């Protein structure tokens, strides 16, 4: 079994982690100092964490990055296989696909994740400033 | 050090820390949370969240995915813009990246799998707290 296929199976095995969009947490845990723009993180309906807005965004974007890395790894492995099997036509087709689809997906995700993290950081700054003026 | 690792070094990781959380004197977790194997998360030493071991380990490994994906995206962008005579060299860097990605994905998935097993094996803190205080 190839590494890529193993990763796919392992990702499927982690389907227990059904990340939901974090919801605004109405109250702070008593043992913590207030977190800026706090988000409640839930897995399959259970509240498993409370993170500040920026960290929550890093978590969500990072999960998508891992999925994308698994896909890129899968593609690279198939490309290398074509190379070892001396199949230049397939290798070149996969290379083209990597440069077009792979690069587009990666660039789009990176842009979206930077935007999302920037938005979270802006919100963080605004809320922190409001906190200071009160 | 490979070309990919050189490039990866230019993408600085966020200084994210996760350490086991000290519960209060009664061993009570914050109300309404399912914090098995609780961790206090810090960013540059400042608390940025409170989460179960699963969230903490997923966050740390996925943030590394983010960094690696940015480096891969940068390699792919260079490949698209490279003159034909430079393509073999850039392709070599991408193949080196493949080994790096495989190692990272294995570590990241193993960390998440271990955390799930640890969560399943540990008692729910609220139950443990009730047992000790009632």
Q: How close B19 comes to chain A (CA, Å)? A: 14
Q: How close B35 comes to chain A (CA, Å)? A: 5
Q: Could you give the CA distance from residue A30 to residue A13 in angstroms, rounded to a whole number?
A: 35
Count of CB atoms situated within 10 Å of the CB of B133? 9
pLDDT at B88 (0 to 100): 87
Task: Give the torsion sign (CA, B12, B14, B15, B16).
Answer: negative
Q: Which helix (H) or strand (E) is B48 found in, with range?
A: strand B46-51
- Choose from B12, B60, B64, B76 for mutation: most chain A CBs within 10 A: B76
pLDDT at A75 (0 to 100): 83
Instruction: Count Cβ atoms within 10 A of the Cβ of residue A98 and give its class: 0-12 exposed, 13-18 middle, 19 or more buried.
Output: buried
Model confidence band, residue B130 (pLDDT cutoffs 50, 70, 90) = very low
pTM of the model: 0.76
Instruction: Count Cβ atoms within 10 A of the Cβ of residue A12 and give its class: 0-12 exposed, 13-18 middle, 19 or more buried.
Output: exposed
DSSP structural state of residue A19:
B
Contacts of B24 (CB under 8 A, 6+ apart): A31
Does the structure show a pLDDT above 50 at A30? no
Task: Among A10, A65, A99, select the one facing B62 at the smallest CB separation.
Answer: A65
Task: Enumerate the residues of chain B whose CB falls inside 8 A of the CB of residue A3.
Answer: 102, 106
Q: Do A48 and B34 make contact, defined as CB atoms within 8 angstroms?
A: yes
Task: Enumerate the residues of chain B whose CB falls inside 8 A of the CB of residue A13.
Answer: 113
- Choose from B105, B118, B126, B129 for mutation: most chain A CBs within 10 A: B105
Pick the residue from chain B with its C-alpha nearest to A75.
B98
pLDDT at B56 (0 to 100): 85
Query: Which tens digits make up the pLDDT trace of B59-109?
Result: 888 888 888 888 888 888 888 888 989 988 888 888 888 888 999 988 888
Does the structure show a pLDDT above 70 at B27? no
Can you tell me the mean pLDDT for B19-48?
Answer: 71
Q: Do A48 and B43 make contact, defined as CB atoms within 8 angstroms?
A: no
Q: Could you give the CA distance from residue B50 to residue B41 in angstroms, rounded to a whole number?
A: 6
Does the structure show a pLDDT above 50 at A1? no
Q: Do A31 and B104 make contact, defined as CB atoms within 8 angstroms?
A: no
Q: What is the mean pLDDT of chain A?
A: 75
Q: Do A32 and B55 make contact, defined as CB atoms within 8 angstroms?
A: no
Can you tell me the mean pLDDT for A74-93?
Answer: 87
Do B82 and B31 contact (CB within 8 A), yes or no? no
Can you tell me the mean pLDDT for A76-91?
Answer: 88
A112 vs B120 pLDDT, higher one: A112
């Amino acid at each position: 079994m190839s590494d890529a296929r193993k990763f796919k199976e392992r990702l499927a095995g982690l389907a227990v982690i059904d990340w939901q969009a974090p919801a605004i947490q109405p109250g702070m845990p008593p043992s913590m100092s207030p977190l800026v723009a706090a988000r409640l993180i839930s897995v399959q309906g259970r509240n498993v964490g409370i993170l500040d807005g920026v960290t929550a965004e890093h978590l969500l974007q990072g999960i998508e990055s891992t999925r994308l890395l698994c896909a890129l790894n899968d593609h690279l492995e198939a490309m290398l296989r074509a190379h070892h099997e001396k199949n230049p036509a397939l290798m070149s087709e996969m290379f083209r696909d990597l440069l077009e689809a792979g690069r587009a997906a990666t660039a789009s995700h990176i842009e979206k994740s930077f935007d999302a993290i920037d938005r979270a950081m802006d919100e963080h700054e605004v809320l922190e400033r409001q906190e200071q003026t009160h | 050090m490979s070309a990919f690792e050189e490039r990866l070094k230019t993408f600085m990781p966020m200084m994210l820390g996760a350490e086991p959380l000290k519960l209060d004197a009664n061993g009570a977790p914050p109300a309404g949370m399912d914090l098995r194997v609780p961790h206090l998360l810090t960013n540059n030493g400042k608390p940025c969240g409170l989460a179960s071991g699963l969230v903490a380990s997923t966050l740390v490994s996925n943030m590394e995915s983010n960094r690696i994906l940015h480096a891969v995206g940068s390699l792919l962008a260079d490949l698209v813009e490279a003159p034909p005579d430079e393509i073999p060299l850039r392709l070599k860097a991408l193949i080196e990246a493949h080994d790096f990605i495989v190692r990272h994905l294995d570590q990241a998935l193993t960390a998440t799998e271990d955390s799930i097993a640890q969560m399943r094996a540990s008692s729910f803190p609220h139950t443990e707290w009730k047992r000790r205080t009632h």
